[in-house]
Amino acid sequence: MLDAAATDFTPIRQLGEFALIDRLAQLLGRPTSSDLLTGIGDDAAVIRLTDDRALVWTTDLLTEGVHFDPSYVPLQHLGFKALAVNASDIYAMNARPRYALVALAVSERYSVEALELLYAGLHEACRAYGIEIVGGDTTSSKGGLVLSLTVMGEAHPDRIVRRGGGRPTDLLVVSGDLGAAYAGLQVLEREKAVWLQNPRIQPDLSDADYVVERQLRPRARRDVYEWLAAADLLPTAMIDISDGLASEIWHLCTASKTGALVYASRIPIDYQTQRTAEAFGLGGLGLALHGGEDYELLFTLPVTAFDRIQGLTELHVIGHLTEAERGIHLAQADGSIIPLEPLGHDHFRPSEATE
């Protein structure tokens, strides 16, 4: 037992989320099971069942007041999002999600009908991603709603893609466009502030439908996973973009022991994201690099795959990996090259998207 009088306690915010995970993982020691192919430190854990089948496990927690605001997040959308973000982790391992467990802690403020809306969203996501909910747990809460999902997927062990397989010269590729979810969050927070000032004023989301949808109902990239399989292309490394592009590039490069050169002009940003960013005095590039919650896929491919992804409008080559000693840099539109800092979301350190 710790002696409180003799111990200097470390605030969690001093470490931050990822250093905290590393520190706690050290207490567990090295895994001893030969069936564990991937453990702590990737998008999901991978356990080999047979020579041609592996299980892929991930879990995620959504807490009222931290991850969502019930004043502007419809419960049906929350249910859909909760399952989609877990499916995204499975796709980031190049695996197919199959089953889910749902655990709820619910306060008396929520009715049966409210929870039915939540489950309607979960069911909608099940249909979208081919997942079945097979169990879970419910309990009471004194602090609102807490929603925890565990999703199991499967893949051939040889098709699993980790964060750490990238090599210098590999292409750095992203799906979709970036920064929209953070832009949508700013719109929702603005409209909430207006409503609190005058409840008679109805929210105006007419010019922000795309970015608001990206915040409330992000999509897991099942289509990219299926396209890679159909094209028989196996990324060398992959991660989903939940904490901002810059942070995920750092995670991928750290695991792969490489550097990276990213071209700002090639980072895909939707026009509505750019327009919304400007309305809030922010930069669209800052939102794309540091905003988070886009749940797009970031992956690397050998240079020889370049011609095979040309013409695919949902995939964008934004740079390439380099030798580790060259560091991680951003080539700006004016030709200057600056260090790319990982300023994305950390659950224990407040952060903001910047220019």
Per-residue model confidence as pLDDT tens for the chain (355 residues): 455 555 678 787 777 666 776 777 677 667 666 788 877 777 889 999 999 999 999 999 999 999 999 999 999 999 999 999 999 999 999 999 999 999 999 999 999 999 999 999 999 999 999 999 999 999 999 889 999 999 999 999 999 999 999 999 999 999 999 999 999 999 999 999 998 888 888 877 878 999 999 999 999 999 999 999 999 999 999 999 999 999 999 999 999 999 999 999 999 999 999 999 999 999 999 999 999 999 999 999 999 999 999 878 899 999 999 999 999 999 999 999 999 998 755 554 554 444 4
Query: Sign of torsion, CA 95 310 269 124?
Result: negative
The last residue of a domain, from among 137, 159, 181: 159
**Which residue range forms the structural domain that includes residue 132?**
12-159
- Judged by DSSP in three states, 219 sits in coil
223 and 175 fall within a common domain: yes
Q: If we measure between CA atoms, which residue out of 152, 166, 157, 68 comes closest to residue 118? A: 68
240 and 297 fall within a common domain: yes
What's the token pair of residue 313?
Answer: 């409008």
CATH code at position 149: 3.30.1330.10
Is 221 contained in some domain?
yes
**Residues counted in the chain:** 355
Q: What is the pLDDT of residue 205?
A: 83
Q: What is the pLDDT of residue 195?
A: 87
Is 348 contained in some domain?
no
Q: If we measure between CA atoms, which residue out of 285, 296, 290 comes closest to residue 332? A: 285
CATH code at position 303: 3.90.650.10
Is 259 contained in some domain?
yes
Q: What is the pLDDT of residue 20?
A: 72
241 and 304 fall within a common domain: yes
The last residue of a domain, from among 117, 139, 159: 159
* Burial category of 6 from C-beta neighbours within 10 Å (exposed 0-12, middle 13-18, buried 19 and up): exposed
Q: What is the pLDDT of residue 355?
A: 42
CA distance 293 to 194: 24
Is 62 contained in some domain?
yes
**Helix, strand, coil percentages for the chain (3-state, nearest 5):** 35, 25, 35
Q: If we measure between CA atoms, which residue out of 192, 251, 180, 198 comes closest to residue 68? A: 192
218 and 112 fall within a common domain: no
Q: Are strands 337-339 and 328-331 parallel, antiparallel or unpaired?
A: antiparallel
CA distance 267 to 113: 42
212 and 331 fall within a common domain: yes
User: How many domains is the chain built from?
Assistant: 2
207 and 123 fall within a common domain: no
Is 279 contained in some domain?
yes
187 and 213 fall within a common domain: yes
142 and 175 fall within a common domain: no
User: DSSP secondary structure string, 127-160?
Assistant: HHHT-EEEEEEEEE-SSS-EEEEEEEEEE-GGG-
